[in-house]
Structure 1
């Protein structure tokens, strides 16, 4: 049996001068208090990027399906913003917010967390008819809250569980919309960090990946430390320096080093945002 090994990942994000930078990939949430292991220490499988099975340049298949279903419901129209950043297709956002409340009520009842779901639902209803800035801030705040929402959302994405698209698809669409919103402050060209307890075979997989130029992806929304797009003002935990990487973030593995003093592996990644 392989015991989990304490591992720190350092991710180098290129500056805006890089051709591979796209504005929509990263978000940040802030803290100097103890980090929440359930958010920062999630083990993410190393998944090679491929264009097979419906995977596109920008999104993994399950996210593509969430976005496609949303566009079909809207007759193919995308969300648009007016010059004052108000949402011009207000009913589209309203529909996703309402669909999400239905899904959260169902999950809350199943998990025996009705009071928690009621808090989330009440917060969602407050976002209806607000400006795009306020909708994005509210959605990012909900994501940062210590509730039953964040973990199962990312499990849904990592497993590609299409049976739960109706529950989590609306929130995936809303979060992807947030990454496109011009109100989000971007920061590029800095390292961010993430801790994982990886098994030795997992670490060996990263070592092998460092020998090639293959791109890999993490399929869930990934929490790291230290800013990319700063949403610290919107977080339920404003002291955390949390950077939220968009689902399907692409990276290459630069190297894997072991610190014998700290008994810890350090994995350096180049993240293309």
Structure 2
């Protein structure tokens, strides 16, 4: 009998342990897939970057030419794989048998939702970083053996170079830009979590299709408003006095708030789950 009707730390820890034990094979395969995809991309790209080592040495290169490529792959991979990860959060609700097993687990609906939210949100980010660094080190090891004369150039990609003003490969010019990018990532991630609670089957495809449909409708209906708010902001727009930094701060807050809203809505949708899926 559940006495704590919302959250119990000890019960939550046991639930997390149960989730990890039952899904370790699937999670391991997904980790290997992430590592394998990035390792293949890095090694293949490295072949073209290091194919003529004499050119790199003659130019006096100090930075590894693979850094920019790997940072671009990092950004695209974390977004795409993050969306896929979010789509798996309700994968156990696809069939009647699995729904019975989930709903009959002796834990509150909040604990069930929160445990999977942690795994597929922050747990995914930790595993992704490990897979990225392993793929990066694989590339370094392969080409240090292949081109020992480039030992002073070939090195691991520093993720700190995602932010900067001096590096040409920097994706974000300031910490504010990085924070805005993180808020957009979590907002996008929350959309796929919400979609997974609505459509447990084929969650990624259905959510992606719904997002595209909303974007098309919004673009067609709100093009005039978007022009006034952004393109005409410097002359006749309603926000002509709003600086770029202030606008970025407001957008960051807005995306975090919308992400939190989607996570809450997803929880209440999951809370209403039944053995017979009526959606």
State the TM bucket, normalised to the shorter chain: under 0.3
Give the TM-score of the pair, scaled to structure 1. Answer: 0.24
Tell me which protein shows more helix as a share of its residues: 2
Higher relative contact order (CA 8 A, sep 6+): 1
Tell me which protein shows more strand as a share of its residues: 1
